[in-house]
Amino acid sequence: MAILYDKSGQRITLHTRTTTYQMGIGPYGHLLHYYYGKRAEGDFSACLSYRDRGFAGNPYDAGNDRTYSLDILPQEFPCYGNGDYRTTSFRLKQENGVYGCDLRVKEVRVEAGLYTIPELPTVYAGTKEAEGAETLSVILEDAAANVEVTLRYGVLPELDVILRANTVRNIGKHEIVVEKMDSASVDMLHGDFEMIHFSGRYGTERLMQRTRLGEGRFTVGSLRGESSHQHNPFAMLCAAGAGEDHGLVMAAGLLYSGNFTISAELDQMGQTRFALGVSDEMFAWPLAAGESFTTPQAVLCIGEGFASVTHRFHDLVNHHIVREKQPGALRPILLNSWEGCYFDFDGEKIIALAEEAAELGMDLLVMDDGWFGKRDDDCSGLGDWKANEKKLGMPLKELGRRIHEKGVKFGIWIEPEMVNEDSDLYRAHPDYAFVIPGRKPIRSRYQLCLDFSRKEVVDCIADRIISEFRDVPLDYIKMDMNRSVHDVFTHAPEWADRQNVGRTLYRYVLGVYAFIERLHEAFPDVLIEGCSGGGGRFDLGMLYYTPQIWLSDNTDAIERLQLQYGSSFVYPVSTIGAHVSAVPNHQTGRVTPLVTRAVTAMAGTFGYELDPARLSAEEKTMIRKQIQRVKQFWNLTHDGLYDRLSAPEGEWNPADGTHDPDYMAWQYTARDRSEALASVVFIKTHCNAPTLYLKWKELDPDATYRLHLEDQNRELPEAWQLPEELPAMTGAVLMEMGMPLPYQPGEYNSLLIYAEKAKDGQG
């Protein structure tokens, strides 16, 4: 049993394989939080302390007892109005403007299996490691405020995760308004914590940031209508100084792709409250009698060190979030037309690309932006989802057929949520776009957002796209979104005269999910890749609908090391869209060896984004080998354990006296430790440099591993070429001392090292 309800002790304990979460019902019916940490038996209620703290409100039921205050006690679902002045997770407004509520436990229920939430993505139990999945529902009520709240805790014991979501229901006769409702909140009684989050900008997403918490509140989030390039709905609260293998780490992610907030507050008593949910800014959800509202789902996980949390999230995403017809199957290695042609192509050019792709051993040709409507640049055409046969020189169906004839699959780009003012759709339905009447809208990339909170708008776009693709031999869709949402105004009849930005933006996200579900229903065998100008909507929610997402429009192999590093904390290799592009790189002008571009892209779904006609014969030979190698190592890279072997900011670097590493490295290891693959990319070079050591992880310490160099920069002078076989070493030596890395002159070289357990007596 993962969930234990001790009625006499009024205690509820959730056990996973290595963690324990405990809460209890206080003497007056409040739901208090007792513990979340390593697996432990016992009654943690004994750890709460009761003292009169002064200026701390006491519930009326406590009589003259000044030691019982919800401003001090740890809580499961802190709400405004019960005397807690810290960050609260729930704020309710009555019809007459009165705020606040005071929730008390009414019922506790334990059921087998996991719960789902209508219209929203949720973690599913699946088959792998699903044994023992259970759901706890704690029902709270404040009859005076006419409200009932159900807290849900799904437990996947083998994965060490707890799945939180909350539902509020109006049990009175009058309208109430929910102004804030988090998905999860965890109080830590004491500790010195850092919050780790992943921030960035367009072209530079998910850089790891560490912030030591001081008294007060630290908040990150998005108000852009999408999860955003700037912040990611995933963060970790960790013991100060925690590293890959040490220090308590609590990770939390939201299965939601819109506005969100993640906050950590260190209070006056040194307690820390970590909470996440839909952003409360401009949020106000009215509930008529009997109506309810449910938050998106949050995933909580605790581990020792970052690596343990990463391993769990990777398994969770691969086996319990992403929905694939053939789980784990090799994803198609693609050639995308964007950086090769941008808007400048016709059907014959696309067919020529397909021919080259097939010849190089790729599986899929993706025709990116520019195939529809009047779309020779980004100023017009969005919304007109009809192939431009004049530009293509043939119908879409024929193009698909001819691409298939070349021996590769066919993929197409769409951007369904957007419209250009210069489009037939906008001319016919200006009210479909977010524009505030009487105002000129804020433009971004010359486009406006469609009101996907309205079902008729979602249906209109879905109908058009589905009918356009109906007879086309299509295998893949890239679904893009190239601006943040603004000028939120809905013409939905029931809301037109009482605008509600938060509600509209929430419904917008649900509209996006509903749209993708329609695509899945219409084209069950088509693979859909998510994208938002690169990684502007790279989150756990989108991964439920699109198993892979384009990581970033930045294809520079060296810059990508940092983006992939940050993303790797939660998102597995199978979800990360990564391509080899041409040099000089289109975003940075940097020139990197082809081998390094491939080593970097191998930490993702792998593909190319260049014009093969411009490649030399030697480069083509290398690409053919790279593709074979990606296929050969697919199981290892996509289902093995992923470990970061270097940190972008970390240990002191003796070579130049900085804390910037000379190289970035990561490792994929088979679950049975029989083989592993390490990727090393050198970022800096020095004269007479100290030897660099690569410390491997997860190997069998007692086994001997044969080390084979899979790839290196063959453009280096003969003298620097390395033998393919390196001296064999035991797992213990590789992990404890580390392998001395051969010196490679110049910047941006890389090594791909395969370690294979030697059979007894060999090596």
In the chain, the amino acid numbered 617 is A
**3-state secondary structure (DSSP) of residue 601:** helix
Let me know if 494 is a catalytic residue: no
- Cβ closest to ligand DGJ, residue 56 vs residue 481: 481
Give the pairing type, strands 11-15 and 161-170: unpaired
- Please check whether residue 18 is in contact with residue 35, taking contact to mean a CB–CB distance below 8 angstroms: no
Give least dist CB 224 to ligand DGJ, A. 16
List of residues contacting ligand DGJ (CB under 6 A): 338, 368-369, 413, 480, 482, 531, 533-534, 550, 553
- Cβ closest to ligand DGJ, residue 69 vs residue 605: 605
Give least dist CB 11 to ligand DGJ, A. 50
In the chain, the amino acid numbered 387 is A
- Cis peptide leading into 157, omega within 30 of 0? no
- Cβ closest to ligand DGJ, residue 277 vs residue 530: 530
**What letter does residue 296 receive in the DSSP assignment?**
P
524 contact partners, CB below 8 Å, separation of at least 6: 325
Which residues partner with 99 through β-bridges? 93
- Cis peptide leading into 584, omega within 30 of 0? yes
Type and span of the H or E element at 666? strand 663-669
Give least dist CB 425 to ligand DGJ, A. 17
**3-state secondary structure (DSSP) of residue 143:** coil
**C-alpha dihedral, 504 to 505 to 510 to 511, nearest 10°:** 70
Let me know if 747 is a catalytic residue: no
* Residue carrying structure tokens 């210069």: 422
Two tokens, residue 510 = 């649900």
Give least dist CB 552 to ligand DGJ, A. 8
Which residues partner with 196 through β-bridges? 210, 236
Q: Longest Cα pair distance anywhere in the chain, in angstroms?
A: 86
> How far, in Å, are 83, 86, 247, 434, 749 from residue 191 at the CA level?
24, 17, 11, 46, 42
- Please check whether residue 704 is in contact with residue 763, taking contact to mean a CB–CB distance below 8 angstroms: yes
* Residue carrying structure tokens 């519930």: 59
- Cβ closest to ligand DGJ, residue 537 vs residue 697: 537
* Separation between Cα atoms, residue 657 and residue 686, nearest integer Å: 12
Burial of 759 (0-12, 13-18, 19+ CB in 10 A): exposed
Give least dist CB 463 to ligand DGJ, A. 23
- Cβ closest to ligand DGJ, residue 368 vs residue 662: 368
Give least dist CB 577 to ligand DGJ, A. 9
- Cβ closest to ligand DGJ, residue 401 vs residue 586: 586
* Separation between Cα atoms, residue 289 and residue 88, nearest integer Å: 24
* Separation between Cα atoms, residue 280 and residue 93, nearest integer Å: 13
- Cβ closest to ligand DGJ, residue 363 vs residue 415: 415
In the chain, the amino acid numbered 446 is Y
- Please check whether residue 267 is in contact with residue 84, taking contact to mean a CB–CB distance below 8 angstroms: no
* Separation between Cα atoms, residue 91 and residue 201, nearest integer Å: 31
- Cβ closest to ligand DGJ, residue 30 vs residue 409: 409
Give the residue closest to ligand DGJ by C-beta. Answer: 369
Beta strands in 459-500 (DSSP E): 476-479
* Separation between Cα atoms, residue 434 and residue 427, nearest integer Å: 14
With CA atoms as reference, report the closest residue to 229 among 198, 191, 251, 254: 198
Two tokens, residue 256 = 């939601």
HSE, CB side, 13 Å, CA atoms: give it for residue 159: 33
Give least dist CB 378 to ligand DGJ, A. 6
Pick the catalytic residue: 539, 639, 643, 756?
539
- Cβ closest to ligand DGJ, residue 502 vs residue 533: 533
Give least dist CB 481 to ligand DGJ, A. 9
In the chain, the amino acid numbered 3 is I
HSE, CB side, 13 Å, CA atoms: give it for residue 566: 29
Type and span of the H or E element at 731? helix 731-736
> How far, in Å, are 305, 477, 664 from residue 564 at the CA level?
19, 23, 11
**C-alpha dihedral, 592 to 593 to 595 to 597, nearest 10°:** 20
**What letter does residue 24 receive in the DSSP assignment?**
E
- Cβ closest to ligand DGJ, residue 265 vs residue 339: 339
Give least dist CB 485 to ligand DGJ, A. 16
Two tokens, residue 478 = 């890239």
* Residue carrying structure tokens 């009809």: 386
- Cβ closest to ligand DGJ, residue 483 vs residue 491: 483
Two tokens, residue 607 = 């593909």
- Cβ closest to ligand DGJ, residue 142 vs residue 553: 553
Give least dist CB 338 to ligand DGJ, A. 5
Give least dist CB 375 to ligand DGJ, A. 9
With CA atoms as reference, report the closest residue to 572 among 383, 763, 327: 327
| Residue 716: CB atoms within 10 Å | 15
* Separation between Cα atoms, residue 757 and residue 535, nearest integer Å: 37
- Cβ closest to ligand DGJ, residue 412 vs residue 641: 412
Pick the catalytic residue: 324, 422, 619, 700?
619
Residues with a catalytic annotation lie at: 539, 619
